[in-house]
Structure 1
Amino acid sequence: MSSSGAPETNNPPPVPPEGSPCWIEIMSTNPPKLKEFYASLFPSWNWKPANEEYKEDFIAMYDFKQPSGISGGIVKLPEGCVQSRGEQPMGIGFTVYYFVESIEKTDKRIAELGGSMCLPKTEQGKNGWFANFKDPEGNRFGVYELNRSK
């Protein structure tokens, strides 16, 4: 039995349709430390145990506890790669957005955990709001709050 009480199966996770997100990679100089940030910010993420092939000082893998087929990892930057803190400008690279209940509460939690806001709460039509943040190592990500009053 799984911890949810549902019987465990050996079925692989569903394969998402072609073109769907399937992996979210967060580069890090210290994967275990950055894992603490994301594990505290998003306690619903399911962290996979490290093993001989995937040691946690190299990669901390996770999924989203749902049958989406989307997973990710905090991956150690290869030697020789230089990462300048906070140098991922808006409009460069990919931005992954995560649903949150409240951008204000999330902003407070991110600041407590050592991250920072780089784009304040912005209205997205009548559907909701988004904001962009940087984790403690300068990786940019977004959050999205749904307008539940419409």
Structure 2
Amino acid sequence: MTAPAFGSVTWFQIGSEDPAATRSFYTELFDWSFEVDTNDDTEGRYAQVTTPGASHPTGGLFDTRGEVPNHAIFYVLVEDTAKTVAAAEKRGAKVLVPPKTTPAGLVFSDLLDPQGNHFGVFTPPAA
């Protein structure tokens, strides 16, 4: 299997104030499986999603606890999150979440494109 190219959509996230109902909906509709991610700093609020036929998770479900609106967004793999965010801002994007680094070394940011569409970018931890 070849690694995805920079600029590819490689992750999605669903944010829900009712993650149990969201899990049930997508499990019944698409046979997705969910596993709580215990290796991050979200205090069990994040579950990784594996879709049928996938060999690894390709998405996540975030328990918003009502702190942010429910959402479904895609994430694009980039070589340098901070550089990409700066380039996006120059092109009219608005930064919602500035680049953040998780304890595992993943760097991500959430943005709005000039038309108001929510999307994210991320750089995986160094190998």
- Normalised-by-shorter TM-score class: 0.3 to 0.5
Q: When you count strand as a share of all residues, which structure comes out higher?
A: 2
When normalised by structure 1's length, the TM-score is 0.38
- Greater RCO, 1 or 2 (C-alpha within 8 Å, sep 6+): 2
When normalised by structure 2's length, the TM-score is 0.44
Larger-Rg structure? 1
